[in-house]
Structure 1
Amino acid sequence: MPGLPAASGGAGSEHRGNVTADWDIRAILLDMDGTLLDTEKVYFESVITALKACGYTDDIVTLCHAMVGIPGPECEAMLRDRYGEDFPLAELNRAFVAKRDEILKAGLPLKSGAVDLLDALQGTGHPLAIVTSSSRRTADEHLTLAGIRTRFEAVVTRDDVARGKPSPDLYLLAASRFGVQPEFCLAIEDSNPGVASAHGAGAITIMVPDIVPPTDESRAKCAAVLPDLGAVLEMLRERDLLKRRPNNFRPTRKAARHLPA
C-alpha cells in the first residue's frame, strides 16, 4: 500500500504528510499493542468471550472494534454508556483476564518484522520510546515477556498523562522526554485513535493497520499507510533514513526515571 498525502492546511502539514518531502527524524516513538506486539487480537478475543460470558451478544464485534487503541478506563466508560451504570464490570474483567491469560500461556508474540525494524532503528542512534495506552505495569510485563523491554530509552503509558489516546498528550510527553520537538519524531501506530494522537502532537505518522482499517480521516493524517512492519523498514531504507546519526540524547532527570534497568 503506497504512502498517502496528508490533509491540506495547517502549519507543517507538508512536512508531516508528503512522503516525497525530506524528513528530519531525531527520535522514534512506537505504539506497543497491535504495532510491535500481536496482542490486539488477544484482547479482542478476550473481550468478546467475556461479554458473551456475561450475557451480552448485541453487535459486540462493532463495539470491540471501537475500543481498539482506547485506554481501559475509557473502554469501561463506553460499556457503561451503552449498557448502563449497573454493567457488571468486575465480572467482565474477571472473564477477560481468564481468557487473556489462557491465550498468553502460549507466549506473547511479536508482530511480523518487529525485530528487524527495531534492529534497524536502533542502528540509527536515535532514541526509541514506547507510547502506549496500556498501564505501566502491563507495558513493562509485556515488553519483558516479548524480550524487547531494554530496547527503549523511555516507556510512556496511560499512567503518565491525564488524557490518553486520541489526545496528543502521550506523544507530546514522549517527545519532551527526549528534548525533541514532535515534528522531528517518527511515530508508528496501528489504530485510528493512535494516529489521531501522534498527528495531533505534530509527529511524522506512519500507520500499519492491525484489526481495524484506517478511516479516511486517519489516512489524511498519515505520512504513509503501509501493510506491515517490513514495508516500514523498506520505506525507511528507500528514503535513506537508517544511517547512523550522532546520538546526542541525554535524558533529563525526569526521563531517566523511566529508563530500563
Structure 2
Amino acid sequence: MPVPELPAKGGRGTTRRRERRVSKRWTVSAVLLDMDGTLLDTEKVYFDSLVAALNGCGYNDDVVSLCRSMVGLPGPVCEAMLLDRYGSAFPLAEVNRAFILNRDRMFEATLPLKSGTIELLDGLAATNCPMAIVTSSSRRTAERHLALAGIRDRFDTLLTLDDVTHGKPDPELYLTAAARLGVIPQACVAVEDSNHGVAAAHAAGAITLMVPDMAQPTAETRTRCAAVLPDLNAVLALLRERGVFARQSS
C-alpha cells in the first residue's frame, strides 16, 4: 500500500527510516501513466491557450485562477465549470474555437516531452513491464498528441475519456485500464501530475506517484501518494529501488 512522502532532509534517524522504507519491495504488475503534464509538456499550453481565448472573448476577471482549477479535468467538466460561472449565455463554441486555434498554433513546431519521459519508457520496455496511457483527453487528441511527440508506438493500451462514462477524478479510467491489462488495481503503479489525477488513481487502489506540473499537491493529495517526486527520472529510480524491474525481468 502507499506510504507517505519521504522527507527530503533530516538527521541520521531520518536516513535510517528512509532506507528501511525504500528497501520494502512493491508487488507491481503494471505501470499506468497519465499523459498531459506527466509524459507530455502540454498543460501550460492548454492553460495559456484557454486564458488567451477567454481574454479574447472579453472575459478578463480572475480567469487565471479558474483555468488553474481545471488542470487535470476532462474537457466536458471544464465546459460545465465555465457555464456555471458565466451563465447559459456564455459563448462556449466561440471560446472553444479560439482555444483550439491557440493550442494548435503553439503545437505547430513541436510537442515537447517532460524531462525523463524517454528514460522511464525505455526502462519499462527493457523489462517487459506492462504499461498503459490513462488520460482524460479524448482518443482523437491522445492519438494525435502521442504521435506528434513521437511516442505513440510505445503503447499497446490507451485509455481515454471515450472509453469510460466518468473521467478523473472518478477512478473509472484506472479501474478500466487495470482490467484491460488483466491485473488488479492494487498491483499497479500510477503516475500523475495533478491533484484530480491523484484522486482518481488513489480511489482505484493504485500505488500513486505524483510529479507535480502546473499545481503543487494539496495536503490531502500528499496523503494519497506513495511519493511526490521532482521528475520522471526520480520515478524510474524509485521503481528500481522498490524492486519493480527486478521482478519483471526475472
Both proteins in one fold, TM over 0.5: yes
What is the alpha-carbon distance in structure 2 between the residues aligned to residue 194 and residue 24 of structure 1? 22
The gaps in structure 1 that reach 5 residues or longer are 6-17, 248-261
User: Do 1:195 and 1:205's aligned partners in 2 also have CA atoms closer than 8 Å?
Assistant: yes
The secondary structure found in structure 2 opposite 1:51 is helix
User: Do 2:26 and 2:243's aligned partners in 1 also have CA atoms closer than 8 Å?
Assistant: no
Give the structure 1 partner of residue 53 of structure 2: 50
Pairing 1:110–2:110 present: no
Give the structure 2 partner of residue 119 of structure 1: 122
Aligned length: 234
The gaps in structure 2 that reach 5 residues or longer are 7-20
1:173-201: CA deviation from partner (whole Å, max 9, x where unpaired): 00000110000001000000100000000
User: Do 1:123 and 1:243's aligned partners in 2 also have CA atoms closer than 8 Å?
Assistant: no
Structure 2 counterpart of 1:208, one-letter code: V
Give the CA deviation at 1:239.
Answer: 2.5
Give the CA deviation at 1:19.
Answer: 5.8
Alignment RMSD (CA, Å): 1.7
> In the alignment, which of 168, 171, 178 is matched to residue 181 of structure 2?
178
1:93-119: CA deviation from partner (whole Å, max 9, x where unpaired): 111011111110111000011000110
What is the alpha-carbon distance in structure 2 between the residues aligned to residue 206 and residue 30 of structure 1? 10
1:140-178: CA deviation from partner (whole Å, max 9, x where unpaired): 111111111111120000011111000000000000001
Pairing 1:154–2:157 present: yes
Give the CA deviation at 1:20.
Answer: 5.8
Pairing 1:37–2:40 present: yes
What is the alpha-carbon distance in structure 1 between the residues aligned to residue 183 and residue 194 of structure 2? 24
Aligned residues with identical type, % of pairs: 62
The secondary structure found in structure 1 opposite 2:244 is coil
Structure 2 counterpart of 1:218, one-letter code: T
The secondary structure found in structure 2 opposite 1:177 is helix
Structure 1 counterpart of 2:68, one-letter code: H
> In the alignment, which of 190, 193, 213 is matched to residue 193 of structure 2?
190
Give the CA deviation at 1:21.
Answer: 4.0
Give the CA deviation at 1:35.
Answer: 0.1
Give the structure 1 partner of residue 93 of structure 2: 90
> In the alignment, which of 200, 206, 211 is matched to residue 208 of structure 1?
211
Give the structure 2 partner of residue 258 of structure 1: none
Give the structure 1 partner of residue 171 of structure 2: 168
User: Do 1:26 and 1:127's aligned partners in 2 also have CA atoms closer than 8 Å?
Assistant: yes
Pairing 1:232–2:235 present: yes
> In the alignment, which of 114, 133, 138 is matched to residue 136 of structure 2?
133
Give the structure 1 partner of residue 30 of structure 2: 27
Written as runs of structure 1 = structure 2, the 5 A alignment for 1:51-70 is: 51-70=54-73
Give the CA deviation at 1:245.
Answer: 2.0
Give the CA deviation at 1:92.
Answer: 0.2
TM-score, with normalisation over the residues of structure 1?
Answer: 0.86
